Amino acid sequence: MPVTLRQLRYFQALIEHGSFSRAAESVHVSQPALSLQIRELEASLGGPLVERESRGILLTPLGREAHEQTLRILDETLLLETMGQRFEAGPLRVAVGVVSTLAPYLLPGMLSHLPDASPRIEIDILEAPGQDLVSGLLAGRLDAAIVSLPLGMLELPERELFEDRLVLAGRAERLASIRRSLGDDLRPEDLARADIGPLLTLGDGHCLADQVLGACLMWRMQEVRRGAQSLATLSRLVASGAGLTLLPETAALAESTATPELSFLRFAAPEPLRRIGLTHRVAAHGQRWIDLLAEAATRAGQALTEEAQKEIGS
């Protein structure tokens, strides 16, 4: 029995929504009709793809492999179906996600590099935490995303764009005291051993928070305060004297302009950093707009980091 696109679309809906009832609703069919198509797909592939559980479904090993192939097939099908529209409609419209700890600082420069690009690109922007952007890519709601790398997912090709180093942020007098007590060759582990107060980070779901905690691994955990949902909030908290934090270079100058009480101290090499990259759906592989988007984001990111290094010191 041949595998059909309908079966693959129903299978993808089942994985995306996590239950037969919600999947059937999303593709506008009855639950028995969707279940029948999944059973026929399993018969064609020679084994079960999902296991039913009280909380939803669980992919079998065969199901995981079939899902990877399904994503590729549906991506290529979508590309084929819209190819004529894309050429005839003129500008290429793509949905691009940008991780929320980077979007406010990167987007103005990135978008300024795109108007003269050929083909002309019109971008629908989604700003969200990295894990939400990955989910959007896998579900087909996004064409590409600018996130922290590596992701390590075969179904999402990725390329590194630039490095975004982390600097210590706080009130000037607090940073001056740290420099006097710890010296100029400051390392994150030195902060962890010193009695310098709480470390403030973003809340759960933000990959930057995990990167900050990874850099400051030995910090007294009872003195770590998580919960801010933006770098702007975090900057204002530490500028008020509530503690210290690590900010990426891409955000440093914008936040210091908005919050004059905010100052920075650079770490000794090797500095903690995050690697910013572009990831996209398989169907976009080799397309010209991916290269144009990557180039624009790289130029904008490098401009931000170079400016920060001039102001803070490299």
- Same domain, yes or no: 240 and 211: yes
- Same domain, yes or no: 185 and 260: yes
Domain end call among 28, 60, 82: 82
Domain span at 218: 163-273
Domain end call among 57, 82, 107: 82
Task: Give residue 54's Cα distance to chain centre.
Answer: 31
- Same domain, yes or no: 102 and 146: yes
Count how many domains the chain has. 3
- In the DSSP assignment, the letter for residue 314 is -
Q: Which of 117, 121, 124 is nearest to 92 (CA)?
A: 121
- Same domain, yes or no: 262 and 281: no
The answer to whether the pTM exceeds 0.85 is no
- In the DSSP assignment, the letter for residue 271 is P
- List, as one string, the DSSP characters of 15-71: HHHSSHHHHHHHTTS-HHHHHHHHHHHHHHHTS--EEEETTEEEE-HHHHHHHHHHH
Q: State yes or no: cis peptide before 115, omega within 30 of 0.
A: no
pLDDT digit string (tens) for the chain, length 314 residues: 789 999 999 999 999 999 999 999 999 999 999 999 999 999 999 999 999 887 788 999 999 999 999 998 888 887 777 665 555 455 778 899 999 999 999 999 999 988 776 667 889 999 999 999 999 998 888 999 999 999 988 889 999 999 999 999 999 998 888 888 887 788 877 776 666 778 888 887 788 877 777 766 655 545 777 788 899 999 999 999 988 899 999 999 999 999 999 999 998 888 999 999 999 988 777 788 899 999 999 999 999 999 999 888 65
- Same domain, yes or no: 168 and 214: yes
Q: What does R_g of the chain's alpha carbons equal in angstroms?
A: 23
Domain end call among 63, 82, 101: 82
